[in-house]
C-alpha cells in the first residue's frame, strides 16, 4: 500500500466508526448527537460521548431502537412507562 500513511488509516477508521444519533418519536427522527464514539447506559438513560462536540449528551428515559453500523446511525426511542 504505497502512499497510505498511518494517519490516513486512523482518520478513515474514525470516520467510518462514528455514529449519528437520532431520537425517534411519533415516526419523526430528530438528530441529537453527531460523531458519537461511545454509548453508555446509566441510571435513567443513555450517555452519548461525542468526539466532535467535545462533550457528553445525556438522554433521559430512552432506549435503543436500532443500531446500523454500516450506515453509522443509531436510533433511540423514549422508554415506555
**The C-alpha cell that represents 68 in the structure block:** 446500523
> Has residue 1 been placed in a domain?
no
> Has residue 37 been placed in a domain?
yes
Q: Which domain holds residue 13?
A: 6-78
pLDDT for residue 55:
76
> Has residue 71 been placed in a domain?
yes
Q: Which residues in the chain come in under a pLDDT of 50?
A: none
pLDDT for residue 51:
82
> Has residue 56 been placed in a domain?
yes
> Has residue 20 been placed in a domain?
yes
How many structural domains does the chain have? Answer: 1
How far apart CA 19 and CA 67 sit, in angstroms, is 9
pLDDT for residue 80:
83
CA nearest 36: which of 44, 45, 46, 26? 46
Amino acid at each position: 500500500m504505497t502512499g497510505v500513511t498511518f494517519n490516513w488509516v486512523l482518520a478513515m477508521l474514525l470516520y467510518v466508526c462514528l455514529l449519528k444519533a437520532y431520537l425517534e418519536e411519533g415516526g419523526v427522527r430528530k438528530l441529537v448527537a453527531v460523531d458519537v464514539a461511545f454509548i453508555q447506559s446509566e441510571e435513567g438513560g443513555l450517555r452519548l460521548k461525542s468526539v466532535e462536540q467535545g462533550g457528553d449528551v445525556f438522554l433521559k428515559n430512552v432506549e435503543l431502537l436500532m443500531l446500523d453500523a454500516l450506515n453509522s446511525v443509531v436510533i433511540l426511542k423514549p422508554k415506555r412507562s
